[in-house]
Amino acid sequence: MLRTRIIPCLQLLDQNLVKTIQFKRPSYIGDFANTARIFNELEVDELCLLGIRNTRNKTTPDFKVLKQVANECFMPLSYGGGIQDFETAKRILAMGFEKVVLNSASFRNPQLITKISEYFGSQSLIVSIDVKKGLFGRERVYSCSGTRTERYSALEWAKSVEEKGAGEILPTSINQEGTWEGFDIGLVSRIANAVNIPVIASGGAGTLMHMLDAIKKGEADAVLAASIFHYEIFSIKQVKEYLKNEGVSVRI
């Protein structure tokens, strides 16, 4: 049985560590390098870095920042934001990152999914899917930091990227992101039951029960969270001990 991963997330904007609410109003919360070092000392399962405005602002990843993190941290690392071509993905993976995360580029250049997967292996590639519900509950998939509507449903796109070679899927509820009100369990569950690759729940973690629900009810293979760790509401150890006591297999 595979162990459930708990993945802290660092949102990067102009070399600053920030936190958003529903993909908007990024607020400065600290130094990214120091925060990454702290998570490294805690030996977290994996650390995810996201350049939240790179694609929207048409900027490339900050390789200086990524190199610094890769040189100082020894846990598995993933990065997404501004990756538009194979050479950029290759450069990031060569730095020591285990995985790259694609979102906007997966729509504009879907063959990039297959190329990365075939060259580095599907385990090196996460495709994120950002979903927002409208006034009447209709779901829409977005790219470019939640500013561009795509024509696919979340399930359609999840199945499509799996076929193209994605190794994991990261569905994020834009409505829930940064609210501390819990994950969109329905979204996570539908995708988890539609694909045969790991699914990482994202967007809305605020309590230990939210984490458990994502795993038990949403059938997520991993849980990604930011606010509860940045604001020290819970520690990684507290989350894992709680989940272990509830029968979830985690690495202590």
Q: Would you give per-residue pLDDT tens digits along the chain (252 residues)? A: 589 999 999 999 988 999 999 999 999 998 888 899 899 988 899 999 999 999 999 999 999 999 999 998 999 999 999 999 999 999 999 999 999 999 999 999 999 999 999 999 999 999 999 999 988 888 999 999 999 999 999 999 999 999 999 999 999 999 999 999 999 999 999 999 999 999 999 999 999 999 999 999 999 999 999 999 999 899 999 999 999 999 999 998
Q: Which residue reads 């991963």 in tokens?
A: 5
Question: Residue 72: is it exposed, middle or buried by C-beta count within 10 angstroms (0-12/13-18/19+)?
Answer: exposed
Q: Which residue reads 């250049």 in tokens?
A: 109
Catalytic residues: 130
What type of residue sits at position 14? D
Q: What is the pLDDT of residue 15?
A: 85
Q: What is the pLDDT of residue 137?
A: 85
Q: What is the pLDDT of residue 217?
A: 98
Q: What is the pLDDT of residue 150?
A: 97
Copy the structure tokens of residue 88.
Answer: 């950029």
Q: Which phi and psi (to 5°) does residue 78 adopt?
A: -130, 150
* Whole-angstrom distance, CA of residue 2 vs CA of residue 30: 33
Q: What is the pLDDT of residue 34?
A: 87
Q: What is the pLDDT of residue 1?
A: 59
- DSSP, res 122: G
* Whole-angstrom distance, CA of residue 248 vs CA of residue 252: 11
Distances in whole angstroms, Cα of residue 145 to Cα of each of 14, 28, 52, 148, 176: 15, 18, 7, 8, 14
Distances in whole angstroms, Cα of residue 84 to Cα of each of 37, 46, 208, 244: 28, 23, 36, 39
